Amino acid sequence: MGTRRLKQTAYSFMILMLSFQTVLTAQESLSHKEMQVGVILDMGSAVGKVIYRCITMALSDFYKANPQYITRIVFNTRDTKGEQLTAFSAALELLENTKVQAIIGPDPTVEARFLELLEEKANVPILTFSTNLFSNRNPHLVQLGQDETIQFEGIAAMVESFELKNIILICEDTAYGREMATYIIFAFQDKNIHVTYTSQISEAASDEQIREELHKFQHMQTTTFVMHTRPSLASNIFSRAKEVGMMGEGYMWIVTSKTSNFLHFMKDDAFESMQGVVGFKSFFPKSRKLHKFVSKWRKEYYGSNPFMEFKAVDYNGILAYDAVYALAMALEKVHTNFIGASLLNQMLKINFHGLGGEFKLMNGRSVSNAMEVINVIGKRDRRVGFWMVNGEFVKQIGKTNASSNSGLEYIIFPGGTTSVLKRRRLQMKGKKLRIIVPVFGAFPNLIQMAVDPRTNLPTVSGFCGDVFIAAFSALNYGVDIEFTQFPYKVGRSYNELIDKVYFKEFDAAIGDITITSNRSRYVDFTLPFSDMGDGILTQNAKKSMWIFLDPLSADLWFTSAGFFLILGFVIWFIEHRTNEEFQGSTRHQIGTTLWFAFSTLVYAHREKLKSNLSRFVVTVWVFVVLVLTSSYTATLSSLLTVQQITPNGRSVPLQGINSTIFNGSVVLKSPADYAETLKSGRVGAIVDEIMYVKSVLALYSADLSLVSTTTTTNGFAFAFQKDSPFTRDMSVEIAKLREDRTLKALEEKWLKHQSSSVILKDLSAPAPNSLDLYGLRGLFLTSGSSMVLALLGSIVYLVREKWRGRRSRVIHAQESDREPSA
């Protein structure tokens, strides 16, 4: 009886306690303030399912850990079905009708540009998983995803570390894809890496369209690819690339986090086609909290459906989990009816250690200091290191030994190679390198074609041909070459040769092809391998026995000779009355006078002069002779050293000349035409590119000379299609050939000539002309004036002497007459 009563009492107490708990729970429920939060996701996608499961787990975990909070988040979920218009309309409905306090989504598989359309409508925080730059343009957007532009510098640094200079960029054919391509190109430009081609592929592109684009890549011959696309498009491209043979040895593929973050969602066949791909991936540091969450995730995932294939929690799921925590914290601090801007400000202040490490927002973006570098091998991605935002690669984060930690682990590239081949074997699908060669027959020592008797295949020779063979052989690409003639026809020019390369009829053109600004618009030229500029070719001057007369003009010769005679006469006139050396018979006086006058030319006069007037005249004349002889010597030396270009008796300056100098219409097709034209006298000189001039001299050096050069042309080079990797590689080899003097040796082999045929001088300065009377008239005027003054002084003196003598005789006669009379 007592036992039964005790049981009834205990049962009544339990009922009472349960009732009391129910009342407390009801009161607690009534005291909680519900906060409506919109969730916009593609619930049919694997990514959307993962995010939704993560945010529901986060909501449960947060309020279980914080039961004292008076706010409770209530999710209002909308399924976008992968359509951005549906996502936009769902966002408007949540904002206008449901009056949500915040929106989570959309997932990154939806094109996030629709967020721009919400800029005027949204006045509540929108927590987006988008990684694009548009998130900065709306102050209400909170970008949970890492800014994807920070990885572009790391990708460029990786390409630079492998000493690669050309890449092909693949991006989506959307406005956002094109804008991101611009940022990627800028990153590569900072590293002096050339983006050979930017391919924009639509998400809706068919398999055949992707194959056509990949075949275009093969013709471009660049083997390094950087891809920035969504995973669905990336998997399709890699599958097609494997079909066409572009996932083998010699290729390098790098994908951004836009693909790498979702590798585990890809199908097995797509993953299999990505073997050797390198990727940049968002990184979360390991922690006990993350490990515990993943364990719980696995348990709940299998518990919900044990027959489904397990999908690991991904980057966006972890972001979503931490975002719900941050949002719940912020709502608890605000919990008013009008919370828009206040909630956003609280979100920006939130800082805690979540699943993904430190959760912190800066300028509306999540902050990260590192990105993981992965290598797709087998059925998983293998970590090979990290890219730090400070600009370096490290093997492990936080390791103190900087030297051993620097750089990346070894990478297995497509084809199973562990290093990038610097000598990239160009994949041309069995095609040969098609090269067109101008064979006009005019200058065979520059370029000519013949059939190799050993292989029975056409080959090239001559200076240009040998330079190409030497440079191309050094590349060791293992690519066969097919030479095709471009024979001469009336009216055919080298511009037609360039057109054939531009229209991709041929891969390159070699020969005596001059670099011009106009041609550079259509093809890419290598470094010039020849001398640059024009040269003047002229016939060697005929040797003359009278060349010693050339330094002085005829009028100066006659004037000088006349002044010698005048000098002799003046000296004789002054000296012969008092100086015995100028007296004697008429023949003796003439001989002495002429000898004295002309001996002053070499300062060999020995006759002593007694009159000061004579000495004055001779002193002035000796100075004139000094100037004459010095000028004569200098001019004669110039004439003997440098042959003047004097067609029709006038000098021809080099400046401004870029064509043949002729007296009539002349057509020059071969070195023989050059020589014959000059010898005939129809042309005084020929101005042409220096290499053509040297070719002529190689055959006619005894009769012709190169008298001057000027850098008015850009020299010969090889022409390749635009953006061809051969251009840079061949330029490097040409530079090496010049440095090791191989180019010099080849030039001597094909263009060797006598050194005497090259007489270089600067024709921009005046040519050494003959001295004329006009230039020296001041000297003769001075000397003539001295002679006239001396002669007048002597005459005055004679007249005075005669007058005195006559007067003396008259006085003497008068005195004689007086004496007889006395």
256-287: per-residue pLDDT in tens?
A: 999 998 888 788 888 889 999 999 998 888 88
| DSSP element (H, E) containing 79 | strand 71-79
pLDDT for 121 beyond 70: no
**Does 97 map to a domain?**
yes
Same domain, 269 and 177: yes
Q: What pLDDT does 120 receive?
A: 59
The residue among 541 and 185 whose pLDDT is bigger is 185
Distances (CA, A) of 57 to 33, 78, 87, 541, 591: 20, 18, 23, 101, 134
Residue 418 pLDDT > 90: no
Say if 762 falls within a structural domain: no
Cβ-based neighbour number of residue 454 at 10 Å? 7
Strand 534-539 and strand 508-509: the pairing is unpaired
In this model, does residue 769 exceed pLDDT 70? Answer: no
Total number of domains constituting the chain: 6
The pLDDT of 323-336, averaged and rounded, is: 86
Q: Is 471 exposed, middle or buried (0-12, 13-18, 19+ CB in 10 A)?
A: buried
Tell me which residue of 121, 149, 124, 123 sits closest to 134, measured CA to CA. Answer: 149
**804 sits in which H/E element:** helix 777-821
Domain range for residue 580? 547-642+776-794
CB atoms within 10 A of CB 490: 4
Name the burial class of residue 67, with classes exposed (0-12), middle (13-18) and buried (19+) by CB atoms within 10 angstroms of its CB: exposed
pLDDT at 145 over 80: no
Top pLDDT among 134 and 58 is at: 58
pLDDT at 669 over 50: yes
- The two tokens of residue 349 are 């202040």
Q: Strand, coil or helix: what is 461?
A: strand
Q: Quick one: which of 482, 481, 464, 485 has its CA closest to 473?
A: 481
Specify the pLDDT at position 113.
Answer: 56
Closest to 715 (Cα-Cα) out of 515, 446, 462, 495:
515
pLDDT of 205 strictly over 50: yes
Residues 613 and 654 in one domain: no
Question: Given a cut of 70, is residue 298 above it in pLDDT?
Answer: yes
For residues 637-674, one letter each, b for 16 or more C-beta atoms within 10 angstroms of the residue's C-beta and e for the rest, the string is eebeebebbebeeeebebeebeebbeeeebebebbeeb
Sheet holding 719-720, edge to edge: 481-487, 433-439, 508-509, 719-720, 524-525
Q: What residues contact residue 428 under an 8 Å CB cut-off, 6+ apart? A: 218, 219, 221, 479
Reported as a pLDDT band with limits 50, 70 and 90, residue 467 is very high
Name the residue with higher pLDDT: 400 or 814.
Answer: 814
Half-sphere exposure of 228 (CA within 13 A, CB side): 25
**CA gap 373, 279 in Å, rounded:** 6
Q: Which tokens in the block code for residue 627?
A: 């100037």
Which residue type, as a one-letter code, is found at position 430? G
320 with 226, same domain?
no
Give pLDDT, residue 422.
Answer: 47
Which of 336, 363, 390 corresponds to the end of one domain? Answer: 363
- Report how far apart, in Å, the C-alpha atoms of 740 and of each of 729, 734, 743 are: 17, 10, 8
**pLDDT for 546 beyond 50:** yes
Cβ neighbourhood burial of 581 (10 Å; 0-12, 13-18, 19+):
middle
Same domain as 132, residue 56 = yes
Nearest CA to 473 out of 187, 737, 193 is that of 737
Rounded to an integer, what distance in angstroms lies between the CA atom of residue 512 and that of residue 437? 9
Q: In the prediction, which pLDDT does 279 show?
A: 95
The answer to whether residue 354 sits within a structural domain is yes
Q: Are 442 and 467 in contact (CB under 8 A)?
A: no
Question: In 275-346, which ranges are E strands?
Answer: 278-282
Residue 498's CATH number: 3.40.190.10
57 forms beta bridges with: none
Q: What is the CATH number of the domain that holds 346?
A: 3.40.50.2300
Of residues 180 and 16, the one with the higher pLDDT is: 180
Q: Are residues 656 and 621 in the same domain?
A: no
Contacts of 735 (CB under 8 A, 6+ apart): 527
In a domain, 496, yes or no: yes
Mean pLDDT of 341-351: 84
Q: Do 614 and 699 share a domain, yes or no? A: no
Lowest mean pLDDT among 165-174, 288-297, 665-674, 781-790: 665-674
Structure tokens at 177: 């894809």
Clarify whether residues 352 and 221 are in a common domain.
Answer: no
Regarding whether 374 and 241 lie in a shared domain, the answer is: yes
* DSSP 8-class letter at 608: P
The whole-number pLDDT of residue 765 equals: 42
If you average pLDDT over residues 424-447, what whole number do you get? 74
Helix segments in 246-314, DSSP class H: 257-260, 268-272, 288-304
| For residue 606, pLDDT beyond 80 | no
What's CA 724's distance to the chain center, in Å?
A: 14
pLDDT for the residue numbered 134: 53
Amino acid at 302: Y
With b meaning 16 or more CB within 10 Å and e meaning fewer, what string describes 690-723?
bbbbbbbbbbbbeebbbbbbbebbbbbbbbbbbb
- CB-CB contact of 538 with 709 (8 Å): no
- Phi and psi at 36, nearest 5°, equal -80, 125
What letter represents residue 511's amino acid? G
Tell whether 103 and 163 lie within a shared domain: no
- The secondary structure of the chain in percent helix, strand, coil, rounded to multiples of 5, reads 50, 15, 35
Tokens coding 699 = 């055959």
Structural contact between residues 58 and 289, judged by C-beta atoms closer than 8 angstroms: no
What residues are paired with 699 via a beta bridge? none
Average of per-residue pLDDT across 126-134: 73
* Mean pLDDT (the chain, rounded): 79
The residue ranges of DSSP E strands in 192-287, in sequence order, are: 194-201, 224-228, 252-255, 278-282
Q: Same structural domain for residues 703 and 555?
A: no
Selection from 718, 709, 775 nearest residue 514 by Cα? 718
Flag whether 425 is in a domain.
no
Q: Are 187 and 235 part of one and the same domain?
A: yes
Q: What percent of the chain has a predicted confidence (pLDDT) above 70?
A: 81
DSSP state of 431: -
821 found inside a domain: no
| Confidence at 398, pLDDT banded by 50, 70, 90 | confident
Query: pTM of the entire structure?
Result: 0.57
The reply to whether 410 falls in a domain is no
Mean pLDDT of 590-598: 78
- pLDDT score, position 264: 80
In a domain, 291, yes or no: no
Do 247 and 237 fall into the same domain? yes
pLDDT of residue 423: 42
